[in-house]
Amino acid sequence: MALVAVTEITKSYQRGPETIHAVRSVSFELHSGQVCALIGPSGSGKSTVLNIICGWESPDAGTRAWKGDKVIDPRTLDWSHIGLVPQRLGLLEDLTIAENIELPLVLLGGNPEDVAGKSGEILSALDLSGLRDRLPAETSLGEQQRACIARALVAEPELVLADEPTGNQDHVRETKVLARFRAAAAGGAACLLATHNPAVLERCDRILEMHDGELVSDTQSDPLAVARADWAPDRTTKR
């Protein structure tokens, strides 16, 4: 059974006299253990698809289903199983980096030792340990992005939705970030990453390509190629 299934979802916007068809009859499924890339040029509808899946927008037509159950009202869904990395990041400016990362665990009622342990581990994995007591405004954009990713992954969600998660990372840290997504998938999560970055594609099990609001291709990656990319992160690849 698919973790997430979107069926014939359509979304349009009115901008004055013009109607913009952001998403046109897109259908696909996400399964546990997969890292999927959602690629396409700017304005192809990638972010809109992510917004629809996470409930920030409602489709004009089509359905979305969570574990086989049709999602009618996003407000009734238990969002604790979903980790989000929006393009705008959205760290709470009054909380430190560590507090931001730990927030999902705190809201879920975790105990202090468990929370400290999990956040410590992911802070270390994403090179954020030295920044734990800084406020977001006191860190770089790349550091904030990694903090946002850590926040999305710390509660071991079942579904991870990330919009351009490596846009502000250098090559080394990009590898670490992608490794965390792979680890999450290995733990059973389904990850959907909207991206332009070729390096990300190498580490994805599946590539969904959008163009002008339509899903034009849905390609399974070569598992060996993905594994090679996992084990040789410093190798520069060309497609």
Interface residues with other proteins (CB under 8 A) are 47-48, 51, 54-57, 75, 78-80, 82, 84, 86-88, 90, 92-95, 99, 103-104, 106-112, 115, 135, 137, 151, 155
Q: Smallest distance, Å, CB 56 to other proteins?
A: 4
* DSSP H or E stretch at residue 64: strand 61-66
Beta carbon nearer to other proteins, 154 or 226: 154
Beta carbon nearer to other proteins, 82 or 122: 82
- β-pairing, 35-39 vs 190-194, is parallel
Residue 179 C-alpha from the chain's centroid? 13
Beta carbon nearer to other proteins, 160 or 199: 160
What are 162's strand-pairing partners?
85, 193
- β-pairing, 159-163 vs 82-85, is parallel
Beta carbon nearer to other proteins, 82 or 226: 82
Angle of helix 141-154 versus helix 171-186 axis, rounded to 10: 10
Which whole-number Å values give the CA distances from 160 to 63, 78, 145, in the listed order?
19, 14, 15
Q: Smallest distance, Å, CB 92 to other proteins?
A: 5
Beta carbon nearer to other proteins, 21 or 228: 21
Q: Smallest distance, Å, CB 237 to other proteins?
A: 32
Q: Smallest distance, Å, CB 77 to other proteins?
A: 9
**DSSP label at 92?**
-
Q: Smallest distance, Å, CB 234 to other proteins?
A: 33
Selection from 63, 33, 44 nearest residue 160 by Cα: 33
